[in-house]
Amino acid sequence: MSERILQTYRELAIEKGAKLKTYAQVQTIMPDTNYVKVELKDETVYAEHMIISAGKQTNDLLAMLGEQVPLTPTRKTFSWFHSDEVVYGQQALPGWAYDMNGQTYYGFPSIEQ
């Protein structure tokens, strides 16, 4: 499901004129008066505006601009597994969330096999 959502976002962005550059790590960011110069691994791009959304690496990129935001990256355990559709399918299991002493646990039904 999440792969389809991301694919849809990509298609909509391209439709609106975006150019996607995958596997293009930002090496340096150099703001100038009217533009920002961004050096990728194999290419340099220029833009009027830049949005930084690098997840847990956001502060690594912001550091190039002398900025930081309050971020606390944490490592989480994650796994996918095949489930019994009779028990976990959308006909049987609702989406749910459970708060226990400030710790939130959540789950949702299996909607794709």
Q: Residue 75, interface with ligand FAD (CB under 6 A)?
A: no
Residue closest to 43 by CA, chosen among 18, 64, 23: 23
Nearer to ligand FAD, 33 or 74 (CB): 74
Q: Residue 19, interface with ligand FAD (CB under 6 A)?
A: no
Structure tokens that stand for 29 in this block: 């960011």
d(C-alpha 52, C-alpha 22), whole Å: 15
Structure tokens that stand for 49 in this block: 């505006």
Distance in Å, CB of 57 to ligand FAD, minimum: 4
Alpha helices in the chain (DSSP H): 2-15, 58-62, 85-88
Piece in contact with ligand FAD (CB under 6 A), picked from 8-16, 28-36, 48-56, 89-97: 48-56
Q: In what order do the strands lie in the sheet with 26-31?
A: 26-31, 36-40, 44-47
Q: Residue 26, interface with ligand FAD (CB under 6 A)?
A: yes
Residue of the chain from 22, 33, 34, 53 that contacts ligand FAD (CB under 6 A): 53
Residue of the chain from 6, 54, 71, 92 that contacts ligand FAD (CB under 6 A): 54
Nearer to ligand FAD, 52 or 89 (CB): 52
